[in-house]
Amino acid sequence: MKRHVAENRRHWDASADQWVEMGERAWAASEPTWGIWAVPQADAPLLPDDMTGLRAIELGCGTGYVSAWMHRRGATVTAIDNSAKQLATAARLASEHGITDIEWIHGNAEEVDKPDQSYDFAISEYGAAIWCDPRVWVPEAARLLRPGGRLVMLGNSPLAIVCIPPDGSATDHRLHRSYFELGEVDWTEAEVEPGGIEFNLPISAWFELFRSSGFTVENYLELRAPADASGIQYETPAVWARHYPSEQVWFVRRN
């Protein structure tokens, strides 16, 4: 097993209990909200309103709430996650909400044991979007999608990653690492909430990766904190995120 896969499995199994309450709230929500600032679906439409008949996969599902939202829109859903403990929470919540036909897979989104062109739609809100190597999981997503199928991913903005101090403390106004050298970001030795290995790329490298993997970019969003947001979310101060993008969303279509 690759080091980042093993470390991220250990990290998420160890911290799974911390995400149960948030997962319960998201499963109970009547409408999706996205990212650390809970951006409404109306402002960031990551999911189609009607997914009837679509075969969908969530790549790095965590507690499974995005899979639940897709199921409620009519999709047939597969969800894969690296953490068995996160999947246990997802399966419990599915049962409590009367959903019995989501396929939960314990595995790595860089290697999904499904045939080529198995899906019409793929999504990752964080999950594979930041915890898997993009140069591996993006081509794998392309393999899984039929021609014309769509991939949507939401994760940290590369600018936000550049502005996070190496000790893992709150994002600030300094540039702490090279933008053009972005790739693996190892938090295992961080002083603040250590654990986990993330990935990100410069925006131009994301464009090239999608192109070389057989995707066409259809839209790109940079998410900011709402005007009334305050405090710090996941080491990101609202005052920073009102002026700079804390998160990015890519919408791409399989050629």
- The residues spanned by each domain of the chain are 3-155+202-254
Residue 2 confidence (pLDDT): 97
Residue 58 confidence (pLDDT): 99
Fold assignment, 3-155+202-254 = Rossmann fold (3.40.50)
Q: Are 86 and 105 in contact (CB under 8 A)?
A: no
**Strand runs labelled E in the chain:** 33-34, 39-40, 55-59, 76-81, 103-106, 119-125, 145-156, 184-186, 197-199, 215-223, 232-233, 236-237, 247-254
Q: Are 81 and 60 in contact (CB under 8 A)?
A: yes
Tens digit of each residue's pLDDT, the chain (255 residues): 999 999 999 999 999 999 999 999 999 999 999 999 999 999 999 999 999 999 999 999 999 999 999 999 999 999 999 999 999 999 999 999 999 999 999 999 999 999 999 999 999 999 999 999 999 999 999 999 999 999 999 999 999 999 999 999 999 999 999 999 999 999 999 998 888 999 999 999 999 999 999 999 999 999 999 999 999 999 999 999 999 999 999 999 999
Residue 193 confidence (pLDDT): 85
- pTM passes above 0.95: yes
